[in-house]
Amino acid sequence: MEGAKGAGMEPTEHLGDYTTLIVRIRQDDAGRLSGVVERARTGEKVRFHGLETLSRLVASLLSTGADGS
């Protein structure tokens, strides 16, 4: 089956570098979420309260890039 490997696969565009984030989440008795997101490369830690805040925080950390700038 010559050419079968990768058949039908189109080259993917480079989507950027990976950023590793460590997310620690806790849920209290009332169901509220809070925790810390840590950028693995730099050790930068940011606290959050609520799912919406977590979403915005992750987006913010991704937009600043892997170098934290």
Does some domain include residue 65? Answer: yes
Residues spanned by the domain of 58: 33-69
Hey, CA dihedral for 55, 33, 24, 42, is it positive or negative?
A: positive
pLDDT at residue number 16: 76
Kindly state whether residue 17 falls inside one of the protein's structural domains.
Answer: no
**Residue 4: predicted pLDDT:** 55
In a domain, residue 46? The reply is: yes
pTM above 0.75, yes or no: no
Per-residue model confidence as pLDDT tens digits over 14-42: 777 889 999 999 999 999 999 999 999 99
Q: What is the total count of domains within the chain? A: 1
Q: Is residue 28 part of a domain?
A: no
